[in-house]
Structure 1
């Protein structure tokens, strides 16, 4: 598949990741996670997969690595070696690049003692903190940094969320990590005497972080929506426009799913959006695919309910603005 063909390919989701995302994968081991995504997308053009090891070391460490790398190359993925998560923003092939998703699965500083030792936890923490610091500068607007990590003792002592906050990243959500969501992915120890062997996963999660500035904007936007709705409801008590009050957006799930829809409306307000019809459709289609991909047990009717919630909010906002303009017109304000 060439790049021009890939540009017109239908968007495909693999759990949290879209074939339209610009994705950077860090600490890739045998590159099987990258291959899992590329196979799902049927393309690797938007994937940059990296390892701290050299190409020769990767081949030597992992018996499946050469096959994985060849397949990724055929799918169009960019493969980088010698990429240190602690300094990656300055790497010659990553400098000034921005990504929609930056992913580090099960970061580990090496087997240097018992995992519960304070010194070992400190080394792990430094690795993760440095990764966050670099990744925070490499995000696109609305981009996310993902770290999959064990959550039981002693790994909970790494304080992943606190380390992210020190790099101006805010937790968006934490979801259970399931190996079966990524067919073909083989987690590897990566260091020590048995680098090609898997390690027991146990209970683990994918932590999703966004830029703190984005989080602040979303919080303000969310608060603004509810303040607006409060005003609508108060004003609606004495007017026929609001005799049948529509539901407000009360669920954080609805807002999280369609947040880019609100962002688009805000950014294009007062401007001439030549592609308004298609862009709105694209945003809602994107939200549907994300919603269904997050949990395969979901039904399309559940998303329809979220759209009904969104429609109710939109309708009441329009009615509120119409009433305000009408009042201003009567007072000669327009």
Structure 2
């Protein structure tokens, strides 16, 4: 306790290896929280640290003999500790969705001890874990921030092809210095699973893979995402879901990004109401309901309430729209209002036509 109180006295910027007390730091997949505590003790404070684990608190203190003490010390130093956080879905967690970080650190990711480490199926599981981590982490990174992944650099671990996975997610490798556990006093690497979960694993040759956002790649990924979304929409909605200010560049990019033709509906439906791809993403269930409501024949499905899609849409917006604001959400609601007016006019006309047809039977 005395060491903690002494550490908290200094408030000048302090460094330990690649990390500064001035950085906002997210730690992912922490074992017994000893790495987080190592940084906190070096900084003299943990107010800039958010440390997460997939385990619940109860499971954590059962698995690791030092976890309870480490957690207590981190709380005293001011760290935010989050339990039950999946590295492949962390962006959706309420305590993380609005935050951006200078450094996001994942020490020795591992998908579990299911087979021998050189088994291709297990390697694919590891790769999938890291890929989804990157996809989440890049959306939580400040523009000048870095994602650090500490990883073994020998066979079979080099078969994970960490650099390729990062590239898929719009990240590029800045540097790859040697990782030495001696640089982090107090840190104890843990197996994390099985009967020996509290035991260390052999490190061998390891490196700290440092990645940054590749802004050019980020734009391409966004364009691909937008185009893929358009192609998945109901046919009658495709063209009108392209933002007017983005329409020309998107169409110009179709061929270069692997699309061989421009959807004919883009040309055919330009006179219809314009709804953004963001609006469709947020209110997908509501917009897809257009097809059910105004389907062929006289089949009207009017049982679904409006309130449920609106609530679902709001939750989707909060979880999925990067840096979403109330103003942005209100803009999407305005788009939805315009579409609702159009839907109402169509429905009234359809009902009037049906009444007219019934009168002539």
Category of TM-score, reference length = shorter chain: 0.5 to 0.7
- Counterpart of 1:212 (choices 206, 211, 214) is 214
- Counterpart of 2:181 (choices 165, 179, 182) is 179
Counterpart for residue 5 of structure 2? none
Q: How does 1:25-40 map to 2 (within 5 A)?
A: 25-40=27-42
In structure 2, relative to structure 1, the CA distance for the partners of 1:67 and 1:161 (3 Å cut) is same
The CA deviation at 1:96 is: 2.0
Spell out, residue by residue over 1:117-155, the C-alpha distance to the aligned partner (whole angstroms, 9 max, x if none).
Answer: 000000000000000000000001210000000000000
On the 8 A contact 2:29/2:53 being kept in 1, the answer is: yes
On the 8 A contact 2:170/2:217 being kept in 1, the answer is: no
Counterpart for residue 307 of structure 1? none
CA distance in 2, matches of 1:9, 1:141: 26
- Number of residue pairs the alignment of both structures matches: 212
Residue aligned with 1:70, SS? helix
Counterpart for residue 156 of structure 2? 154
Unaligned runs of 5+ in 2: 1-7, 219-361
Q: How does 1:1-334 map to 2 (within 5 A)?
A: 9-213=11-215
When the two chains are superposed, the root-mean-square deviation of aligned CA atoms in Å is 1.8
Highest Rg: 1 or 2? 2
CA distance in 2, matches of 1:88, 1:114: 28
Counterpart for residue 357 of structure 2? none
Identify the structure with bigger relative contact order (alpha carbons < 8 Å, sequence gap 6+): 1
Moved over 3 A (4+): none
CA distance in 2, matches of 1:114, 1:25: 27
CA distance in 2, matches of 1:67, 1:193: 21
Counterpart for residue 272 of structure 1? none
Residue aligned with 1:34, SS? helix
Q: Calculate the TM-score normalised by the size of structure 2.
A: 0.57
CA distance in 2, matches of 1:8, 1:71: 17
The CA deviation at 1:7 is: 12
CA distance in 1, matches of 2:39, 2:11: 15
CA distance in 2, matches of 1:64, 1:13: 25
Q: Calculate the TM-score normalised by the size of structure 1.
A: 0.62
